[in-house]
């Protein structure tokens, strides 16, 4: 019985793993973590949105005597998009403002990653085809593409 459970559980994980991974948009950057994060912040502000917080996770790790590869989180948004999302599904305030993490992997490559707005819709009962979800999707794509452009 235990072997059957392990085999079934392993099969479920093997199938579900790619689904969970697809729930994250990841883009490679030709720039350093700092430059990519700065470029993203500039793109956000240039689009009329606001950067609410910049978190340097590596600095936080260093403050407690630990080492972490460069990792920065930007939290940003625009009430013109966030408010309609919360009106459509008020619990979406749990996942807003939007967040993008910029990090360096073990091979020295830099990436940025974020949850797609379709996840926001699914998690908070907002119709997937809602105008605000489409607008957030387009905005995140444009902003992150500006951050990683050569």
pTM, two decimals, is 0.84
Query: How many CB atoms lie under 10 A from the CB of residue 58?
Result: 18
Residue 73's pLDDT is: 98
CA–CA dist 93, 86 (Å, integer):
6
**Does residue 17 carry a pLDDT above 50?**
no
pLDDT tier at 13, thresholds 50, 70, 90: very low
Task: Share the mean pLDDT of the chain.
Answer: 89
108: left (phi over 0), alpha (psi -120 to 50) or beta: left
Residue 22's pLDDT is: 55
- One of 3.30.310.70, 3.40.50.800, 3.30.750.210, 3.40.50.300 is the CATH number of 24-148, namely 3.30.310.70
pLDDT, average across residues 103-107: 98
- pLDDT tens across 47-86, in order? 999 999 999 999 999 999 999 999 999 999 999 999 999 9
């Amino acid at each position: 019985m235990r072997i059957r459970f392990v085999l079934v559980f392993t099969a479920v994980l093997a199938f579900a793993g790619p689904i969970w991974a697809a729930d994250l948009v990841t883009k490679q950057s030709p720039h350093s973590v700092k430059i990519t994060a700065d470029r993203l912040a500039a793109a956000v502000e240039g689009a009329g949105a606001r950067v609410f917080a910049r978190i340097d996770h590596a600095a936080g790790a260093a403050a407690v005597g630990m080492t972490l590869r460069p990792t920065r989180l930007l939290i940003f948004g625009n009430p013109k998009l966030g408010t309609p999302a919360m009106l459509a599904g008020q619990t979406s305030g749990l996942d807003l403002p939007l967040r993008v993490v910029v990090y360096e992997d073990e091979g020295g490559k830099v990436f940025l990653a974020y949850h797609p707005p379709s996840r926001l819709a699914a998690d908070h009962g907002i119709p997937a085809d809602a105008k605000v979800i489409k607008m957030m999707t387009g905005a995140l794509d444009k902003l992150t593409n500006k951050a990683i452009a050569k």
